A and B are shown apart, each in its own frame.
Chain A
Amino acid sequence: MEKRFITVDGNEAVARIAHKINEVIAIYPITPSSPMGEYSDMYSAKGETNIFGTVPQVYEMQSEGGASGAIHGALQGGALATTFTASQGLLLMIPNMYKIAGELTPTVFHVASRSLAAQALSIFGDHQDVMGVRQTGFALFASNSVQEAHDFALIAQAASLRSRIPFLHFFDGFRTSHEVSKIVQIDQGVMKQMIDTELVNLHKQRALSPDHPVLRGTSQNPDVYFQGRETVNPYYQAVPGILQKEMDKFFELTGREYRLFDYVGAPDADEVIVLMGSGAEAVEESVEYLVAKGEKVGMVKVRLALPFDIRAFIDVLPKTLKAIAVLDRTKEAGSLGEPLYHDVVAALFESRSTLPFAMPKVIGGRYGLSSKEFTPAMILAIYKELQKSSPKNHFTIGILDDVTHSSLTYDKDFILENKDQFQAIFYGLGSDGTVGANKNTIKIIGSETENYAQGYFVYDSKKSGSMTTSHVRFGKEPIKSTYLIQKADFIGVHQGVFLEKFNLLDSIKEGGVFLLNSRYPKDRIWDKLPRITQKQIIDKRLKFYAIDAYSVAKASGMGSRINTVMQTCFFAISGILPKEEAIEKIKQSIQKTYGKKGDLIVEMNYQAVDHTLKNLFEVEVPISITGTIELQPALKGELDSFSREVIQKITEYKGDEIPVSKMPADGTWPTGTTQYEKRNIAAEVPVWDSETCIQCNKCVSVCPHSVIRSKVFDIGLVGNAPETFTYKPAKGKMFTENDVFNISVAVEDCTGCALCVEVCPAKNKSQTNLKAINMQPQLPIREEGIKQWDYFLSLPNVDRALLDHNDFKQSQFLEPLFEFSGACPGCGETPYIKLASQLFGDRMVVANATGCSSIYGGNLPTTPWKKNSEGRGPAWSNSLFEDNAEFGLGFRLAIDNHEKNARDLLKSLQIDEVFKNEILDAVQKGEGEINLQRKRVDDLKKMLVLMDDEGAKALLEVVDYLVKKSVWIIGGDGWAYDIGYGGLDHVLASGKNVNILVLDTQVYSNTGGQQSKATLTGAVAKFAAGGKAAAPKDLAAMAINYQHVYVAKVSLGANDKATVKAFMEAEQYDGPSIIIAYSHCVAHGYDLRYGMEQQKAAVDCGLWPIFRFNPELLQNGENPLILDYKGIKTDVKEFMYKETRFKMVEKMDKKRAEGFLQTARETAQSYYQRYTHLQEQFDHKEEK
C-alpha cells in the first residue's frame, strides 16, 4: 500500500486516531494536552465519524476529576471512551483510574506528559505525572516520537481491548506533543483491522444494563477484599504478550515494527542506556554516531514500562553487556532511585541466576525535567561515565548540581554534525506570524518533497511582546534530533530589535545564511547592527540578506502580519527548493490555506509574495566592524546579587547555566523584580498633555501594566525636574494651592495597548482628535521619557491618610503594588488586581488560582507583585487550579490562629492595661484605624524586646498578626465557576473573612479560550465552536442566596466608582466576600484598546448586570442590594457584534445567531427582573 504522509504535531497525530476509535471523549483543558481535545471537538463538530460509523460525543467537563468520572461511567455504559490530559490533571484522575483498572475496563488515556507543580509549576515535559500514577493499575506505554504517538494510540487501544487492562499512552509534553513532524498516516482500514469487533462487542456486553442487570462497586470487607484484589494478576501477566502480538499485527499491516523493548546499537555492546520517551530518539541518534566510530555501545527503548516484562527486557540486552545507565525523566525525592531504575535493578536481580551475562554495573540518572535539553553531548557523557570502574549512581545530567554534586560534566561544545540535515532557526515576535509561517513551510516541504521535516517552537513566558523561536529541520532520513538546533545553516531574525539584546548569531554555522527584517534601507542597515552581530557576520563569512517586511506587508494589505513575506524570503534564499518551484508551492499553499476565505485574502498574500521578491536584497558585508551599538543589558537598575546571578541570567536566556546552589530550595522568590526588565516592547506609548487633562485619573486606573501613574506634590519640589516634565495645579479639596498634579508614563514598560487613550474623556480644545493622553512613537521620546519617569518616582507619594479610598479618583493616587506584568497588552484582568494592590497591598496575602493571573503574576524570571517603601506588600502564592479557595481559607485559618495566639499572649502580659486594651479592642476597618493599630503594635514591639519574659518573646513572634491582614483569593472563571466551584462554595459558606476576586473573562483564557460555565450565550469558544447555547451560570445569585456573603458584580469600564466601592466594602466586610469582575480578553476577538468601551456595552445591554449586595446593610436594617446600573439601555447586538466571538456565529449561521441574540435579550431582561425583584423583596422585608 502506498504510504500517505501527513505533517502534524504529536497532539494531532494522537487525536486523529483516538477520535476514530472511540465513542465518548470527555476532556478538560490542560497544557500541553489541550489540543487533543480541541482537535477531537473540531472533528466531531464537522460531523466526522469514527470507524464504527458514529460521530463521537466530545464533552468538556468541569475538571479532570470530572472527565475521568465521566469516562468511567461511559465505559461502564459499554462505550469506547477516552480522555486526554497531563500533569495535575492526571493526578486528579487517580481515584477513577483505580476504579477503571480494578474493574478490568479497557480504555486508553492519552497523556502529553508534563512536570508536576512542586517548588513551582511548570508546563513543560517530563514523566513526573505518569510516574505518579504507576500504582493505579494502568499499563504504562511510552511513545518516543510523533510517528510513534500516532501508531501507539492505535496499538494501545487494541491491546487494552484484548487484555481488559486500561492503558496510559504517554508521550513527552511539548517535545512530542507540539513538535511538527512528517509522519506516515494510518488509514482507516488498518484501524478497522486492529480494533477487533468481537472484543468491542464483549466490552459492550459487560455494560451495565437493566436488560441484563449486575452490580459493580460493592463494598468488600477484610474477609474477601484481599483475595478480590489478587484476582486480576493473570490479566496483568498477559499484557506484555498481548501487546507484543498487537505490535506484530501492526507491523504486518504497516511495516513499522515495535517490540516491548527495542534494542539499538552494537550487538556486542559493553555499555547500554535504558530509557523511554523522546529522549530515546536523541540517544538512538548518538548511538548510531558512536557505533559508526567503532564504539561498543547500545540502548534500550522501553515501550511498555508497566507491567514490566523481565524476560523480554533481559532478552534484548547484548550478551556482552557490562554496564547499564537507566535514565528517568522524573524525580522521586527521597527515593533510592527513580521508577525505571528500580524496575531494571529488580529485573536483573530477579533473573540473576539465568542472566546470559555477568551481573552488570547499574546506575540510575535523572535528565530532562521540565523539557530541559537532552543532547548528544550529554548522552556521550553518560556512556563515558559507564566506562569508569565506579560510575556515579543517582546522577543528574544537563544541569550543574553544585550542592549534592550529582551532575555529570559534559562537553558543552560537542555537537553531533548531521550533514544530511538542513537546520534553520527563526526568531519572531509572538503574533507576527513567524511560527505559523514556519509550520506552513514545514508542511510545504513535508508534503511536496521527499524530505522529512521537523519543527519545534519555543515560546516566551510573557504574554506580551514575547519572542518565539522556531527550530526547523529538513532531511532525507527521519529526524531523531529531539533537542534544539545547536548550529544552524540559516537564521532568520524577524524582529531587528532582538539583536539589540541578544547575540542571536552565536548559533549559526560558518558560511550560513542570515536573514533580517529591518526598517533600515540597504545603505544604512549595516551601521545599525550591534557590533557583536557585525563581528559574527564577518568572522563566520555569512551571507546576509534583508528586507523591510513590515513595509512589504503593509503595501500588500497584510497589515503587520509578515508571515508570508518572511516565508517567501526563506524559500528565495535558503536554496532548500529551486526558487521558482518554491514560489509556486508557496502560492499553492496560500490558495489552500486562504482559498475558502475568498479571493481577496489569497490575492493579498500573492501580492506579498511578489512584492517580497522585489524588495529582498543582499547586504554587502564590509571587511571590518564599523558599528557603535553594544548589546543592551537584560536588566537595568540597582540589582542585588540574586537578581544579577539568577534573574538576569534567565532574562538573557542563559537560565540553563544557573547551578543548583543559586536556586532557592523551596521555590521562594523575591517580589518586585519586573521593574528591572525595561522591555521596550511598545512601538507607541502614551504621552500626557497637561493642558487638556481634567485630572480624572481614569487612564491611571485602566492601565493594565501600571505604567501610567499620577501624583500630587508641592510645587517647591519641582526645581530639579527635567525640562519636559509638566504639571498643573492640583484639583481637589484635600490639596493646597501649592500642590501640583502630574501624570507620568513608564515608557520602557508600556505595552502600547492604548486603553488609556480610549478611556480619556478630555478632548483638546483646538484639536479634537487629541485627548489628554495620546499615543506617540516610543523611540524618539524614550530617553526623555526615562528621565521623566525616574524623576516622577523620586517624588513622594500622596499621603495615603489624606485620601478618601472610597473615592475613585483619589484611590488612583495610591501606589500600585503590582506593576509591569507579562500580561497581554490591553489585559482586562490586571486593572482589578492593581486596584486591590493599591487599596490593600500593604496587608494582602494572595492565594492565586492557576491561570493567566498566576502566569503573569508569578512566571519567572520577574515578578510584578512588589513592596512599598516601608517594605510591606502583597505576599503571594499559587497552590493549584482546583483548590484555590481552600488554599486561601487556609491562610485565613492560620492568620486567625496567630491572631488569637497573639491576643491570648497579650492578655496575659503585664503591661499597662489601658494600652493593652487599646490594642485588643481596636476596630480595624479602614486604613486609618489599621495604621493606628500598626503604630500601637510598633510601640508594643519596642516594649517586648526589652522584656525578659517567655510570654513577651512568644508574643514577639506573632505580634504583627494583631494588625489586620487581608486575605485575597484570586482566579479566573475556569477556577471559580468550574474546577474550583465546590471549594469556592464551601469557603463562601464558611463565613470566614476572605475576599474572593473572580477575573471573569468567560473562557479559560490561559489555555486558549475553552468555554467555561461563565461563557456567555452565543459566544464561540473552544468546545462551543458553533456558539454556546446554554446560559451562563449566575454565580453572583448563587452567592447572594447565602445572605451572609458580600457579593459584587463589577465592571471597571462601565462604572469605576462602583468598582472601587465594591473593593472597599468587600474588604471591610467581616465575612466572605466575592467580587465578580468583567474582564475583557484577547480571546474575545477585537482590538483591546476598546476593552473598556465593550465592558460598558456589556452592562448597557444588560448582559453584565452590576450591583453590590452588602449583608452589613441588612444587619443595619437597610436594603442590602444596590444596583449600579439603570436597566437595559441598548440592544445586546450593540455589545455582541463588536466582538468576533459573537459575530462569527452570524457569519457561520445567521439563523442560529438570531436565536442567540433573542436568548441574550431574554437573559438580559431576566437579570434585570431578577435583581430588581430581589431589591423589592428586601424593601418589603424592611417594611415588615
Chain B
Amino acid sequence: MDLSTSYLGFELKNPLIASASPLTSSPESIKKLEDNGIAAVVLHSLFEEQINHELQQLDHFLFSHNESYAEAIDYLPHEVDFENLQADHYLKEIEEIKRSIDIPVIASLNGVSSGGWVKYASKLQEAGADALELHISYIPTDIDMDSATVEKMYVDTVSLVKEHISIPLTVKMNRYFSNPANMAKRFVESGVSGLTLFDNPVTVDIDLMTLSSVQKAQITTSRQLSESLRWCGILYRKLPCSLCAGTGVHTGADVLKAVISGADAVSLASVLLMKGEKEVQEILHFIRHWMEENEYQSISQMKGSVSLEHTDNPSAYERSSYMSALQNFDRDSDLPRRFL
C-alpha cells in the first residue's frame, strides 16, 4: 500500500504534516512526531514582531535613561553580546532540527507588512529550511481601505518574500477573501508553490471580569473541516501548486476526505495538542485500514476523486447545495451523509 504523496516537490511518505504549533517548537517534540510517523513538519512561527520588536525593545531599555544624569551615565551593562535573540534562536533551531530528523522541515514566517523582516526568509533558507510557509494574517480596521488594497498588500508581501528565497514557498491562506480562488491564483502567479487552506485565526473574546478584549487560540474540531474540503475541491488541478488542507483535520477519516477532495497533504495541530504525538499512528492506522477495506492501493489513486471536477455532485461545493445538505443531515453524524 502506497501512502506517499508529492507536496511542494517533496516525496512525502504519507500526507500528514504537523503544522505550526507548540508541538513544533522544540527539537525533542519534533523528533517524537517523526518517530510516530509524521511526514513533514512546519516549525512554530517566527513573527514579524519577534524579529523587529525584540531588538528595538532591548535597544530601547538598555539606553532609554542614559546620559541624563552625571552620576549614572547608564544603568545596565550594554556591551554584551546577545547570542539568543528569538530570530537568531529560530535559525539555530532549524539547523539543530535538520541535523536530528530526516523528514522535510518547513519554516514558518508570520507577518503582515513588507518591512525589513522579510529579509529573514533568506536566513531561514540558509539555516537549512527545506521550504517556507508564509502566514499573513492582516485584520484591516480602516473602513476606508478597500479590498483591492488589502489583496495587493498580501500579494506584494508574497512576491517580496519569494524574491529572497529559492526554496519552495507556501502560503497559509485565510478564508475571508471575496474570492479565495482568485487570491490563490494570484499567490501562485507571485511564485508560490503551495497553499495551505486555511489558517486557524486567533479569536477575540471579552473578559467580563476585567472588561477587556482578549485573544484566544482556538482548538479546532472536525466540524471546521468543511471550508478546507470545499476549496481543495474547487482548486484541485486548477493551479500549478500543491494543496494542503488545514483546520479541522482530526481523524483518519478527515485525512481521507481532504485527499479525496483534492489535497496533496493535510496539516495537523489541534488533534496533536490534545492527544499527543502518538495519535499520528492512530490516524495512519485508520487510513491503512480504510484503504484496505475499500481496496485502494495508493493515496494518488484517490487524490481529487471527489473534487469539484470529479465529483458526481458538484453542486455540493456550491451554494445551491445548501438545501440538499440540510436534507441529508444525519443526527448521528456531524457531516452530511453523502460524505461518509
Question: In the bound complex, what is the Cα–Cα distance between A448 and B176 (angstroms)?
Answer: 56
Looking at the assembled complex, report how far the CB atom of A806 sits from the nearest CB atom of chain B, in whole angstroms. 29
Across the interface, which residues of B come within 8 angstroms of A293, CB to CB? none
The chain B residue with its CB closest to the CB of A1082 is B65
State whether B76 touches A1083 (Cβ < 8 A).
yes
CB pair A1140 B58 closer than 8 Å: yes
Closest-CB distance, B277 to chain A (whole angstroms): 23
A600 in contact with B58 (CB, 8 Å): no
B140 interface residue (CB < 8 Å to A): no
Interface contact A430-B82, CB-CB below 8 Å: no
Cβ–Cβ contact A600 & B51, under 8 A: yes
Q: How close is A428's CB to chain B, nearest CB, in angstroms?
A: 8
* Cβ contacts under 8 Å, A1025 to chain B: 77, 79-80
0 or 1 for each of A1024-1041: is its CB under 8 Å from B? (1 = yes): 011000000000000000
B55–A31 CB distance below 8 A: no
List residues of chain B with CB within 8 A of the CB of A431: 64-68
- A946 CB to nearest chain B CB (Å): 54
Q: Which residue of A lies closest to B67 (CB)?
A: A435
Q: Do B84 and A596 touch (CB < 8 A)?
A: no
Most chain A beta-carbon neighbours within 10 Å: one of B52, B70, B74: B70
* A930 within 8 A of partner (CB): no
- Interface set, chain A 1068-1099, CB cutoff 8 A to B: 1082-1083, 1085-1086
Asked if B77 and A38 sit within 8 Å, CB to CB, the answer is yes
Chain B 56-76 interface 0/1 with A at a Cβ cutoff of 8 Å (1 = within)? 111111111111111111111
**Knowing A599-B116, A1148-B80 touch, does A559 contact B60 (C-beta < 8 A)?**
yes
Q: Provide the bound-state CA to CA distance between A38 and B74, in Å.
A: 11
Across-interface contacts of A855 in B (CB, < 8 A): 71
The smallest beta-carbon distance between A971 and chain B, in angstroms, is 16
Q: How near does chain B come to A629, taking the closest CB pair, in angstroms?
A: 27
Which chain B residue has the least Cβ–Cβ distance from A459? B70
Given contacts A430-B69, A1148-B83, contact A1008 B58 (CB under 8 A): no
* Among listed A361-369, A460-468, A519-527, A655-663, interface-contacting one: A460-468
B81 in the interface (beta carbon within 8 A): yes
User: Which residue of B has the minimal Cβ distance to A34?
Assistant: B71
Q: What band does the interface of chain B fall in when counting residues whose beta carbon is under 8 Å from A?
A: 35 or more
Q: Does A457 contact B (CB under 8 A)?
A: yes
A1147-B82 contact, Cβ under 8 Å, with A603-B116, A1140-B76: yes
Q: How far is A1005 from B71 in the complex, measured between Cα atoms in Å?
A: 9
Q: A511 in the interface, Cβ–Cβ < 8 Å?
A: no
Residues of B within 8 A of A123 (CB): 70-71
Beyond A466-B68, A596-B81, A597-B55, is A768–B212 a contact (Cβ under 8 Å)?
yes
CA distance A700 to B126 in the complex (A): 55
Query: Hey, which chain A residues are within 8 Å of B61, CB to CB?
Result: 1085-1086, 1140
Return B50 CB to nearest CB of chain A, in Å. 12
Pick the contact of A1148: B66, B68, B82 (CB < 8 A). B82
Residues of chain A within 8 A (CB-CB) of B74 are 1008-1009
Q: Which residue of A lies closest to B123 (CB)?
A: A599
Contact assessment for B55 and A600 in the assembled complex, using a CB-CB cutoff below 8 Å:
yes
Which chain A residues border B323 with CB–CB below 8 Å?
A: none
Task: Say yes or no for A1146: interface residue by CB 8 A criterion.
Answer: yes
Using Cβ atoms and an 8 Å threshold, which residues of chain B touch A34? 71
B68 close to A468 (CB less than 8 A): yes
Tell me the chain A residues, 545-599 only, with Cβ under 8 Å from chain B.
Answer: 557, 559, 561, 594, 596-599
Given known pairs A466-B69, A599-B116, A1005-B72, the reply for A1149 and B77 (CB within 8 Å) is no
Within 8 A of B (CB), among A31-52: 31-32, 34-35, 38, 41-42, 45-46
How far, in angstroms, from A1144 to B77 measured CA to CA in the complex? 10
**Which residue in B60, B64, B72 is a CB contact (below 8 Å) of A1009?**
B72
The reply to whether A601 and B72 form a contact with Cβ atoms under 8 Å apart is: no
CA A32 – CA B69 in complex, angstroms? 12
Does B85 sit within 8 A of A, measured CB to CB?
yes
Q: Which residue of A lies closest to B53 (CB)?
A: A600
B145 near A: Cβ within 8 Å? no
Establish whether residues B84 and A468, one from each chain, have CB atoms under 8 Å apart when the complex forms: no
Min distance, Cβ A1016 to any Cβ of chain B, angstroms? 14
- Minimum Cβ distance to chain B for residue A494 (Å): 12
Is residue A1163 contacting chain B, with contact meaning CB distance below 8 A?
no
Residues on B with C-beta less than 8 A from A1007 are 71-72
Across the interface, do B79 and A430 meet the contact criterion of CB distance under 8 Å? Answer: no
Q: When the two chains form their complex, are residues A436 and B76 in contact, meaning their CB atoms are under 8 A apart?
A: no
Please tell me which one of the listed residues A468, A561, A600 contacts residue B116 in the complex, with CB atoms under 8 A apart. Answer: A600
Question: Within the complex, what minimum Cβ distance (angstroms) separates B40 from chain A?
Answer: 27
Q: Which residues of B contact A818 (CB under 8 A)?
A: none
Question: Given the complex of chains A and B, what is the CA–CA distance between A42 and B60 in angstroms?
Answer: 21
Within 8 A of B (CB), among A1135-1150: 1140-1141, 1143-1144, 1146-1150
Q: Which residue of B lies closest to A467 (CB)?
A: B68
State A463–B73 Cα separation when bound (angstroms). Answer: 11
B-side contacts of A824, CB under 8 Å: 65
Residues of B within 8 A of A430 (CB): 65, 67-69
With beta carbons under 8 angstroms apart, the residue of B71, B82, B84, B211 that contacts A763 is B211
A1021 touches B83 (CB 8 A): no
B51, B60, B80: most-surrounded residue (chain A CB, <10 A): B80
**B59 contacts which chain A residues (CB < 8 A)?**
594, 597, 601
Q: Is B337 an interface residue (CB 8 A)?
A: no
A1150 to B93, CA, bound (A): 13
**How near does chain A come to B49, taking the closest CB pair, in angstroms?**
12
A708, CB-defined interface residue at 8 Å:
no
Closest to B52 in A: A600
A591 to chain B, nearest CB (A): 15
Contact between chains at B79 and A42 (CB < 8 Å): yes
Q: Does A433 contact B (CB under 8 A)?
A: yes
Contact partners of B68 in chain A: CB under 8 A: 429-431, 435, 459-460, 463, 466, 468
> CB distance B63 to A436 under 8 Å?
yes
- Is residue B238 contacting chain A, with contact meaning CB distance below 8 A? no
Point out which of B65, B74, B119, B211 has the most chain A C-beta atoms below 10 A from its C-beta: B65
Shortest distance from the beta carbon of B209 to any chain A beta carbon, whole Å: 11
Asked if A999 CB lies within 8 Å of chain B CBs, one says no
CB atoms of B76 and A1020 under 8 A apart = yes
Q: Is the CB of A1021 within 8 A of B69?
A: no
Rounded to whole Å, the gap between the CB of B283 and the closest CB of chain A is 34
A433-B84 in contact given A42-B79, A1082-B75 (Cβ < 8 Å): no
List B contacts of A471 (CB < 8 A).
Answer: none
Say if the beta carbon of A174 comes within 8 Å of chain B.
yes
Interchain CB contact (< 8 A) of B82 among A594, A1008, A1082, A1144 = A1144
Given contacts A431-B64, A1025-B80, A1147 and B73 within 8 Å (CB-CB): no
Judged by a CB distance under 8 angstroms, whether B310 is at the interface is no
Complex CA–CA separation, A1083 to B76 (angstroms): 6
Q: What residues of B have a CB within 8 angstroms of the CB of A768 in the complex?
A: 211-212
Distance in Å from the Cβ of B25 to the closest Cβ of chain A?
13
Contact digits for B83-108, partner A, Cβ 8 Å, 1 yes 0 no: 11101010000000000000000000
Per the bound structure, the CA–CA distance linking A871 and B84 in Å amounts to 58
Q: With A430-B67, A599-B119, A1008-B71 in contact, do A1140 and B62 touch (Cβ < 8 Å)?
A: yes
Task: Across the interface, name the chain B residue whose C-beta is closest to A851.
Answer: B71
* Chain B contacts to A: CB under 8 angstroms: 51-52, 54-77, 79-85, 87, 89, 116-117, 119, 211-212
30 A-B pairs (CB sep. < 8 Å): A34-B71, A42-B79, A45-B77, A123-B71, A174-B70, A431-B65, A434-B67, A559-B60, A597-B58, A597-B59, A599-B116, A1006-B72, A1007-B71, A1008-B71, A1008-B72, A1008-B73, A1009-B72, A1020-B77, A1020-B80, A1021-B76, A1022-B77, A1025-B79, A1082-B64, A1085-B62, A1085-B75, A1086-B61, A1140-B62, A1144-B62, A1147-B54, A1148-B83
Those 7 A-B pairs whose CB atoms lie nearest each other, nearest first:
A430-B68, A1008-B72, A435-B67, A459-B70, A1085-B61, A1140-B61, A1009-B75
Given A34-B71, A434-B67, A600-B116, 15 more pairs with CB closer than 8 A: A45-B77, A123-B70, A430-B69, A459-B69, A463-B68, A466-B68, A598-B55, A599-B119, A601-B55, A603-B116, A1007-B71, A1008-B72, A1009-B75, A1009-B76, A1085-B75
